[in-house]
Amino acid sequence: MSNELLVVRDLEKSFQVGRGVEFKAIDKVSFSIARGKTLGLVGESGCGKTTIGRTVVRLYQADGGQVLFQDMDVHRVTRKQAHELTKRMQMIFQDPYSSLNPRMTVGDIIGEGLDIHKLYNGRKARNERIYELLEMVGLNREHAGRFPHEFSGGQRQRVGIARALAVEPEFIVCDEAISALDVSIQAQIINLLMDLQDELGLTYLFIAHDLSMVRHISDDIAVMYLGNLVEKAETDTLYTKPLHPYTQGLLEAVPTPDPIYEKQREKILLTGDVKSFKGERKGCVFASRCKYAADLCQEVKPELREIEPAHFAACHRIEELNGASRRR
């Protein structure tokens, strides 16, 4: 499909975790995002979301697979193209407290990208552009001379967004851009990101660890477990008809506004922790926590397959558990 801005195919990334021991943080992950759209990427802590984001924007080298950004193969580019990509793809980082240099003014933090890509003519134009960017994210020009510690978490995240926008990117990885913030501030930042997307035609990979906030911003959602995608669907479909037991568990964990229901309902569908396997894995990555796991699940890894049109899941027992018609 020519409309795709980003296509990720069988992406792999491992980390050295000891002498000769490799940990496969990303295991053949594939997805694509159309221009102007948002893919939500959801999964518990440690499942590999940040690693995907960083590998997609070339902060990490991939060990296998491909990231195609329009006509560019992101991990096989010339130096000139690599420089171009630092302008076209940006990342907003997980922690608004540590991702901004405490010794730089907010103006200079935002101006850095402008300097690197020579995006202005003269001092005055530089300052004007910084003011404009501050206003775009709901801050004001007086903020340019201040330092990160003088801002609240929500304001810092706005600075992070302004910094990303400075180079006029087409694609932004928002890595838990809102997780560290209060719920009311989270909604404000989501709305800001959505307004900016409309205005500027941006494409997002929006990373979050639960399903509560991503619904509003995402066109499609991919659910990740231990380095693998286990389900992928259009957003409403994922919420109304989740197929994978893990997604169903994550949805159970989303709080509802009704306190009595909250108290009564059986909340712990998901038990145990994400195991961080070292070395070779066998079978389904979710099998150790899945209450439906059968012998086959312990032995053979299920592929991510299309269960219904544009709805993918990786589970041997999907049809059985969801009563859907059997399809190959």
Stretch that binds Mg ion, among 44-52, 238-246, 247-255, 258-266 (CB under 5 A): 44-52
51 interacts with ligand ATP by CB under 6 A:
yes
209 interacts with ligand ATP by CB under 6 A:
yes
55 interacts with Mg ion by CB under 5 A:
no
Size of the site for ligand ATP (CB under 6 A): 15
Find out whether 10 and 189 touch, Cβ atoms under 8 Å. no
40 interacts with ligand ATP by CB under 6 A:
no
Instruction: Compute the distance between CA of residue 53 and CA of residue 44 in angstroms, rounded to an integer.
Output: 15
Distances (CA, A) of 265 to 269, 292, 303: 10, 20, 32
Contacting Mg ion (CB under 5 A), which of 50, 55, 90, 235?
50
* Nearest CB to Mg ion, comparing residues 59 and 200: 59
Find out whether 307 and 324 touch, Cβ atoms under 8 Å. yes
Contacting ligand ATP (CB under 6 A), which of 9, 36, 46, 248?
46
Q: Is 18 exposed, middle or buried (0-12, 13-18, 19+ CB in 10 A)?
A: exposed
Q: Which of 168, 162, 184, 169 is CA-nearest to residue 106?
A: 162
DSSP string, 109-168: HHHHHHHHTT--SSHHHHHHHHHHHHHHTT--GGGGGS-GGGS-HHHHHHHHHHHHHTT-
Size of the site for Mg ion (CB under 5 A): 1
Minimum distance of ligand ATP from residue 224's CB (angstroms)? 7
Q: Which of 86, 94, 207, 203 is CA-nearest to residue 156?
A: 94
Contacting ligand ATP (CB under 6 A), which of 11, 47, 114, 304?
47
Minimum distance of ligand ATP from residue 75's CB (angstroms)? 17
Stretch that binds ligand ATP, among 43-51, 132-140, 234-242, 294-302 (CB under 6 A): 43-51
Degrees (nearest 5) of the Cα angle 99, 102, 105?
105
* Nearest CB to ligand ATP, comparing residues 49 and 158: 49
Contacting ligand ATP (CB under 6 A), which of 29, 31, 40, 49?
49
Residues near Mg ion, by CB under 5 A: 50
The footprint of ligand ATP (CB under 6 A) covers 15, 17, 23, 25, 43, 45-51, 94, 209, 276
